[in-house]
Chain A
Amino acid sequence: QVQLRESGPGLVKPSQTLSLSCTVSGGSISSGGYFWSWIRQHPGKGLEWIGYIYYSGSTYYNPSLKSRVTISVDTSKNQFSLKLTSVTAADTAVYHCARMNGDYSSAFDIWGQGTMVTVSS
């Protein structure tokens, strides 16, 4: 079955750029009907949707983060990626990649285990 796995640095300095990748296994990222998302969870807090990308490259970002976020896709590697610029301590969180499935009312039906990113000097 389809699985997602995040990868990237666990520590980022303030004002720098957070970069994470999500590798899709067990299926093709180019399959239609899915939007590939990033979601974060601040320590002990709720969930915040960051944005999504379709395999064609079209994106939609949360307006609260839009000025700092870029999500890209590499279909040859079956991966999609997140870049978040000018990070501060408020960006410290667990970052999940997830699949949004149109067959399930656009719910997030598959999630990566998440990767903790700490912003600190």
Chain B
Amino acid sequence: DIQMTQSPSSLSASVGDRVTITCRASQSISRYLNWYQQKPGKAPRLLIYAASSLLSGVPSRFSGSGSGTDFALTISSLQPEDFAAYYCQQSYSAPYTFGQGTKLEIK
């Protein structure tokens, strides 16, 4: 199985801050990396697919980068609704695996 490791596991930030979450795969996954946002009691929501493609309707303050084994999700200017958990996920090969998550909290 491909292991996905996110960092940090939690992050405190303020509205307006720029934050970056990283995700590392245990082997090369090309650009088969997706990012999700999850709020308490809700299903995950796809934000970015193929490492850097923004899903329609997702605010442009979200961006993704990387290829191979190292990836990043950046939020350019945090908004109150962005405080949530974020997960990366590889779709390169089954079994499809997720990172352990990053909890983004208000400072």
Mark A residues whose CB is within 8 Å of B. Answer: 46-49, 60, 62-64, 96, 98, 100, 104-109, 111-114
Chain B interface, >50% SS class: loop
Q: Are A60 and B44 in contact (CB under 8 A)?
A: no
Q: A residues within 8 A CB of B32?
A: 105-106
- In contact, B98 and A47 (Cβ under 8 angstroms): yes
CB pair B46 A49 closer than 8 Å? no
Partner of B94 from the list A60, A98, A112 (CB cut-off 8 Å) is A60
Most chain B CB within a 10 A radius of its CB, from A46, A60, A96, A109: A46
Interfacial residues of chain B within 12-65, with CB under 8 A of chain A in the complex: 31-32, 34, 36, 42-46, 49-50, 53, 55
Shortest distance between the CB of B104 and any CB in chain A (Å): 15
